[in-house]
Amino acid sequence: MGELTRRYGLTLAWGMVGLTAFWLVILVALPYLLMFEFSLRPYLTVDKIGGPEDIYTLKNYVTLFSNTIHFGVFLRTIVASAFVTALCLVVCYPMAFFLAKIVNPKDAATLFLLLLIPFWVNEILRSFAWFIILSYQGPLNAALVGIGLIERPIRWLTGGNGVIVGLVYTYLLFMLLPIYNSVQSLDSNQIEAAEDLGAPLWRTHWRVVIPHAKPGIASGCVMVFMLSAGSIIVPSLLGSPGTRWFTEIIQQWFFEGQDWNQGSAYAFLLLILCTGFVMLMMRLLNVRLTDIAK
């Protein structure tokens, strides 16, 4: 606080602290606390709220583990989100290294602009575009049949394929930008020194580039996993009846079943899952929370 006061003055410093406290307490902590309190209470009619049946219980949490369908969807969402994260990492790491260390900086700005332009369009419209591309009679199947790669159209929108493609496309930049920032800060002389000492390309990346880019990799993985696990639009538009997403079930509890207590329990379990993934990435990559937040 003393540094803020010295740099910006007392009024501005207290204003920044106040806005930060408002954001953390009113817009972050309080909604989660209310959701947690809702999740511990049973779903009751209005006349029974505050009565003898309105007690704190873990029944809403137990429901997920006793309902085999919902628990299966929960596990499938975890696995699919992790798979999307891994795909984004495989695609974005070489792209980030190319943009940061190989391409000319002026050309890199142009390439970034080309990558950003599609994201100026609303996510719903982009998901609808992928629905058209991946449909049975869509342009992708027409092109593949036309050049002879396949004999008959493929149903891309079954088995979760469309959801995976849509999520990778939607959250690609959330993986690319943190890794790019980390790789760009690496001194190129270290890469040249490793090459001069005879290190092959894979060893240079394993021993020099990746250790330096760990905070960016961790940040990208955390953001992509959390956004994928919490996505609702892409699974709703590109998913099939047999590949429901956990967020769709949460939405049904809240808005169709009007059971906010059960929906809060499911949402809080998803929050715990995402928090656990953050801790896991910090453990695996040996980075701190402050490194991920940079």
- Helix, strand, or coil (residue 184): helix
Cβ contact 271:191 at 8 Å: no
Do residues 237 and 248 make contact, with C-beta atoms less than 8 angstroms apart? no
pTM value is 0.86
**CA-CA distance, 189 to 122, in Å (whole number)?**
41
Confidence at residue 147, expressed as pLDDT on a 0 to 100 scale: 87
User: Fold for domain 67-293?
Assistant: MetI-like fold (1.10.3720)
**The amino acid at 169:** Y
**What residue has token string 């930008």?**
177
Three-state SS annotation for 138-175: CHHHHHHHHCCCCCCCCCCCCCCHHHHHHHHHHCHHHH
Structure tokens at 38: 């809702």
Residue 140: closest CA among 160, 154, 159, 122: 154
Output the tens digit of pLDDT for each of the chain's 294 residues: 666 676 667 677 787 778 888 888 888 888 889 889 989 988 887 778 778 888 888 999 999 999 899 999 999 999 999 999 999 999 999 999 999 888 887 888 888 888 888 888 888 888 888 888 888 888 888 888 888 888 888 888 877 888 999 999 999 999 999 999 999 988 888 888 888 888 888 888 888 998 989 989 999 999 999 999 999 888 988 887 778 899 999 999 988 888 889 999 999 999 898 888 888 888 887 777 666 666
**CA dihedral for 114, 120, 126, 132, sign (positive or negative):** negative
pLDDT for position 11: 75
What is residue 175's predicted lDDT score, i.e. its pLDDT? Answer: 93
Rg of the chain, C-alpha, whole Å: 24
Q: How far apart are CA 7 and CA 198, in angstroms?
A: 49
pLDDT at 3: 67
Q: Map 217-262 to HEC letters.
A: HHHHHHHHHHHHHCCCHHHHHHCCCCCCCHHHHHHHHHHHCCCHHH
Q: How many CB atoms lie within 10 A of CB 172?
A: 21
The domain segmentation of the chain, as residue ranges, is 67-293
Report the candidate in 159, 175, 158 with the shortest Cα–Cα distance to residue 87.
Answer: 175
C-alpha torsion angle, residues 34, 39, 41, 42 (rounded to 10):
140
Token pair for 272? 């715990």
| 205 sits in which H/E element | none
